[in-house]
Structure 1
Amino acid sequence: MAAHREGRERREGRRRIARRSFLIGGAATVVAAGSASAWALDTYVVDHVEVADVDAYEEAAGVTSTTLDTSEAVSTDDSWSADGTTITVTKKTTGSGNDTVTYFVADVVLTDATVLRSAFANNEFGENVIEKTSAIAKDNDAVFAINGDYYGFRSTGMVIRNGVIYRDKGAREGLAFYRDGEVVVYDETATTAQELVDAGVWNTLSFGPPLLENGEVVDGIDEVEVDTNFGNHSIQGEQPRTGIGFVDTNHLVLVVVDGRDKGYSRGVTMTEFASLMQDLGAVTAYNLDGGGSSTMYFQGDVVNRPSNGGERGTSDILYVAG
């Protein structure tokens, strides 16, 4: 309880600092800007909080996850295990010179599917609420985390996290994590959030595109546009990537590819990313928010090299508490 309370205090402090900085540095901009700029600022920058205390919201919903007994956790520089859940992180490099690709693979075997949880920036749900992956991870006592789907950049898509419904606006092909350890790609527009929860869905992610289905690379993924709204950058070409692959029941591979860093890692195309997932044994794989957001956190540190020269704020993470 003390650690949970300290996490809340850290979050409250960050919210006060961030909002004070915005009011001091941004108010003059809003006044000086035309109506279009003010609209863009309100739509894509200003926080629109819908749930102010996610912990309390989920507690009130009565949804619980499997809690690991970490009293006898075993860790090395590249692995961690506790109570039957194991996480092994490996750095891999292919190519040479300007064709070098560097990526990080977390091979995760879960005791129970609900061990893999989601957390939101600042413990709030809403549009434009952001925090660094490592900060969200530390607030939630995570031993491992990756950035999620940046749900807060858009107003559509299914958002079910830790068994609780937050948004029910199907728009694209999503990824559903079931309580029985299965992970599937599904059509958000063909169902409802309540139907998914009733069927046993624990978490959903809404970004894409799907990379692998039935072990095969999905056709046309290098031409897909996930978002076309103001300020969005294309997901096409050689980019830093974050993705998740389903190998077998309760067995996942979570991958972050670094990029935009000549001689270290150029990034990968969507098809290259799919092939990489295929080589790792995934039969289903899904692309998450990438670019400057791509971040992997393990045992207290960010292990990759985010392309912005440092972490970029994001809406959410997937994590295992340790």
Structure 2
Amino acid sequence: MNETATDPATPTAVVRRRMSRTVKRLIGAAALVLTLVGGGGAWWAANRFLIPHVEISDVAAYQAEQGSADAGSSDTTDTSGTVTGSTYTSDDASVTITKHTTGSGDDTLTYYVADVTLTDATALRSAFADNQFGENITARVSEIAEDNGAVFAINGDYYGFRSDGIEIRNGVVFRDEGAREGLAFYKDGTVTVYDETATTADALVADGVWNTMSFGPAIVENGQTVDGIDDVEVDTNFGNHSIQGDQPRTAVGVIDDDHLVFVVVDGRDSGYSRGASLDELAGIMEGLGAQTAYNLDGGGSSEMWFDGEVVNQPSNGGERATSDIFYIAG
């Protein structure tokens, strides 16, 4: 269990780690830009997809300024939870991790399920890489989780890859550019799929939304697989056109109010796990009893983290840096 919250030296240590990671990424991005500087298109691509663009430099302070009294932080929160094997229990949440394998040989499929029950819907939180908000700000899931005192975490929607979508995190609006089908988590425990273009972030917060996810598509609605999901393109921007075929996957399913399942499917590893199509992912969610399920960023980003360890086997051969996580504090 991460004891960061009780160590008075931790804030300085965390800042140093964040600074070190940021410097390394800036050096790497700068080196690539210098290598590609001969082409205007290459400079545009580096600026758009590599160089960090910080919009909010201190997310925790911004949340406090916006009046998110429920947002909490790893520096002040003590849930007094306990880990027993692959299960975590506290007054606010319980998490149980299980591994599942189907098929054999090249058809083997391996995935991990986190069954999460909340007694307080706000116990499911979000955190951004380096406590900053903006484009191309990334860190490994483990780093973000440890910085925020998490006991369980998954990769989020990789909001930092794009400049649109509705992003409400821990009750605070960070972006209000409706573009796609989103998922909204309410403080009363309900979770709904919604059309981002038909509302605003402020209206959602006024209605009690605690967190949103902006990726998709929805793969299960009313307990049934959504038709045509294997033909969906999640975005139209460069580098993220298609999510078809057998891929590593991350998804969240809603069994009932305050009862969620998070699924991470491994892939691109013949004999261990080939990855799943969206239809297969929906089938997994149906089998778990999900009435609603929503696809999140996948591929090399797909990761489940629990009690200080990476649970699955990310397809990159190790953790891929991402912009955000969803987590349960420990």
TM-score range, shorter chain: over 0.9
Query: What pairs up with 1:46-85 in 2 under 5 angstroms?
Result: 46-65=51-70, 69-71=78-80, 73-85=81-93
Please report how far the alpha carbon of residue 122 of structure 1 lies from its aligned counterpart in structure 2 after TM superposition: 1.1
Write the deviation string for residues 159-213 of structure 1: whole angstroms up to 9, x where unpaired. 1100010110101110000000011000000000000000000000010000111
1:29: which partner in 2? 35
* Whole-angstrom distance in 1 between the partners of 2:285 and 2:302: 16
Q: Secondary structure at the match of 1:26?
A: helix
Q: 1:305 aligns with which of 300, 313, 317?
A: 313
Alignment partner for residue 226 of structure 2, among 208, 215, 218?
218
Shift of the 180–80 alpha-carbon distance from structure 1 to 2, 3 Å rule, reads same
> TM-score when scaled to structure 1?
0.95
Report the identity percentage. 60
In the alignment, the residues of structure 2 paired with residue 148 and residue 54 of structure 1 have an alpha-carbon distance, to the nearest angstrom, of: 16
Residue 322 of structure 2, aligned match among 307, 314, 317: 314
Runs (5+) with no aligned partner, structure 2 = none
Question: What SS does the corresponding residue of 2:269 show, helix, strand or coil?
Answer: coil
CA RMSD across the alignment: 1.5
1:224 aligned partner, one-letter code: V
Any residues of structure 2 matched to 1:1-322 within 5 Å, and which? 2=8, 3-23=10-30, 25-32=31-38, 34-65=39-70, 69-71=78-80, 73-232=81-240, 234-322=242-330
Return the offset for 1:4: 4.4
Output the CA distance in 1 between the equivalents of 2:29 and 2:50.
Answer: 10
In 2, the alpha carbon distance for the partners of 1:75 and 1:178 equals: 27
Q: Distance in 2 between matches of 1:5 and 1:163?
A: 27
Give the CA deviation at 1:74.
Answer: 2.4
Unaligned stretches of 5+ residues in structure 1 = none
CA distance in 2, matches of 1:66, 1:180: 15
1:312 is paired with a residue whose SS is coil
Counterpart AA for 2:52 = D
1:223–1:99 Cα change, 3 Å: same
Aligned residues: 319
Mapped to 1, the partners of 2:154 and 2:107 lie a distance apart of 25
Cα distance, 1:61 vs structure 2: 1.3
**Aligned-residue offset at 1:5:** 4.6
- Aligned partners of 1:142 and 1:321 also within 8 Å: yes
Q: 1:277 to 1:29 in 2, by over 3 A?
A: same
Q: Is the 8 A contact 2:121 2:187 kept in 1?
A: yes
Query: How far did residue 232 of structure 1 move?
Result: 2.3
Output the CA distance in 2 between the equivalents of 1:4 and 1:214: 44
C-alpha contact 2:32 2:46 (8 A) present in aligned 1: no
Shift of the alpha carbon at 1:10? 2.0
Q: TM-score, normalised by structure 2?
A: 0.93
1:233: how far off? Answer: 5.3
